[in-house]
Amino acid sequence: MSVNLLGLDAGALAGFFATLGEKPFRSRQTLRWVHQLGIGEFDGMTDLAKSLREKLAASATVEAPRIVADTTAPDGTRKWLLDVGSSAIETVFIPEAGRGTLCVSSQAGCTLDCRFCSTGKQGFNRNLTAAEIVGQLWVARRELGANRADRIVSNVVMMGMGEPLLNYENVVPALRLMLDDNAYGLSRRRVTVSTAGIVPMIDRLREDCPVALAVSLHAPTDRLRDELMPINRKYPLRDLMAACNRYLERAPRDSITFEYVMLDGVNDRPADARALLALIGEVSCKVNLIPFNPFPNSGFRRSPPDRIRRFAAHLQAAGVIATTRKTRGDNIEAACGQLAGKVDDRTRRSLRIARVA
Ligand code: SAH
């Protein structure tokens, strides 16, 4: 069986070259061809000896997910639907002045079933491989054609479909490639893992690959969070806040981003802002308010703009940096929580809930 080189980080690629009886520096060369230059055919890797190229062609491939659909919103947000065999996943590029953010998926579907998220409603198919995760970046860079400042992927956020910290084994090599100077060379502050709060995995990430961390908080009390995010029953807020502080010990100059979806009448009252301030008081953080993005039968409404402004002002008055996420790409169903892809659910709903609780 041939190996897909796209998902191998520097260490794994060096190991692969060792099995071919080749020197480790070949792996650096290959990383550059594949990731920096986006070359998928070994024939094009002209500084590798012909005999090595033939060996590679016989034992390896560079295979990225295939594009099924490519949609651009009037605001420039672009969404790709990518075929990963049994399901299709989504990747979103968000151009902004001076930067471009790629929102990458980590799983086909999701097991967490957060009440306000459309991905959760699709069920869960499987974890993506490292090649499929980094392949989203590879495909996006190829499709964007780069060179123009507004088309460069300068930031990656693991905020697409799925829970990255429940696919740890595949997410970490993908992150390492994003940071590797021979591959994408992004600084660890420009690569963000967003988690619903898988406490033990936050600790492991701190040890293995401390990139920027965003935590989907969405509720200031266990009572409400238990309801909105079943995972909270397993990892309650106290444990989650402690894990955030441990994460920052590794990188004292950093802060955690808390994401907080604004749900009309659910978590957006002044009392919620006060409770939120009390909760995050001990953590060095920013708060990013996300106006709820609706999807059919969600049962929730977006908080009115005025209430979002007041909520943000409440946090700011207490000295907390609070920003409100601009809604991008919602007319192509590319906004936060709207990514659904086409998930062939392999779980039963009851099973998913049992797994989380
Ligand atoms: N599982 C990870 C990665 C998903 S990131 C996590 O939970 O962090 C997607 C972000 O969008 C999360 O903060 C998620 O809670 C938020 N989100 C989900 N559904 C949403 C919706 N309908 N409107 C706005 N934000 C939503």
Nearest CA among 129, 134, 128 for reference residue 178: 134
Q: Which of 90, 132, 163, 259 is catalytic?
A: 90
Q: Convert the pLDDT of each residue in 235-284 to its tens digit.
A: 999 999 999 999 999 876 789 999 999 999 999 999 999 999 999 998 99
What b/e sequence results for 104-117 when a residue is b if at least 16 CB atoms lie within 10 Å of its CB, and e otherwise?
A: bbbbbbbbbbbbbb
Judged on CB neighbours under 10 Å (0-12, 13-18, 19+), 2 is exposed
Q: Convert the pLDDT of each residue in 290-343 to its tens digit.
A: 999 998 889 999 999 999 999 999 999 999 999 999 877 777 777 777 777 777
Structural element, H or E, at residue 193: strand 191-195
Tell me the pTM: 0.94
117 CA distance to ligand 1 middle (Å): 6
Given the CA of residue 338, which atom of ligand 1 is nearest to it?
22
| Whether the predicted pLDDT of 33 surpasses 70 | yes
Supply the pLDDT for residue 357.
Answer: 41
Q: C-alpha distances in angstroms, 340 versus 30, 82, 107?
A: 34, 12, 11
Q: Convert the pLDDT of each residue in 158-194 to its tens digit.
A: 999 999 999 999 999 999 999 999 999 999 999 999 9
- What is the rounded CA–CA span in Å between residue 7 and residue 13? 9
Domains and CATH numbers, the chain: 3-61 (1.10.150.530), 66-356 (3.20.20.70)
Supply the pLDDT for residue 321.
Answer: 97
Q: Is 90 an annotated catalytic residue?
A: yes
- What is the rounded CA–CA span in Å between residue 11 and residue 5? 12
Q: Residues lining ligand 1, CB < 6 A?
A: 114, 116-117, 159, 163, 194-196, 216, 218, 259, 261, 290, 292-293, 336-337
Q: What angle do the packed helices 199-208 and 237-249 form, to 10 degrees?
A: 10
Q: Of the residues 336, 338, 352, which should be mutated to test ligand 1's pocket, given the most ligand atoms within 8 Å of the CB?
A: 336
pLDDT band at 205 (very low <50, low <70, confident <90, very high): very high
151 CA distance to ligand 1 middle (Å): 24
CB 183 within 8 A of CB 36: yes
- What is the rounded CA–CA span in Å between residue 6 and residue 134? 7
Which residue owns the Cα nearest ligand 1 atom 8?
195
Q: Is 336 an annotated catalytic residue?
A: yes
Determine the straight-line distance between the first and last CA of the chain, rounded to whole angstroms.
Answer: 38
251 CA distance to ligand 1 middle (Å): 25
What b/e sequence results for 264-273 when a residue is b if at least 16 CB atoms lie within 10 Å of its CB, and e otherwise?
A: eebbbeeebb
Structural element, H or E, at residue 179: helix 168-179
CA 159 to chain centroid, in Å, comes to 3
Pairing of strands 321-324, 285-291: parallel
Judged on CB neighbours under 10 Å (0-12, 13-18, 19+), 283 is middle
Which residue owns the Cα nearest ligand 1 atom 17?
337
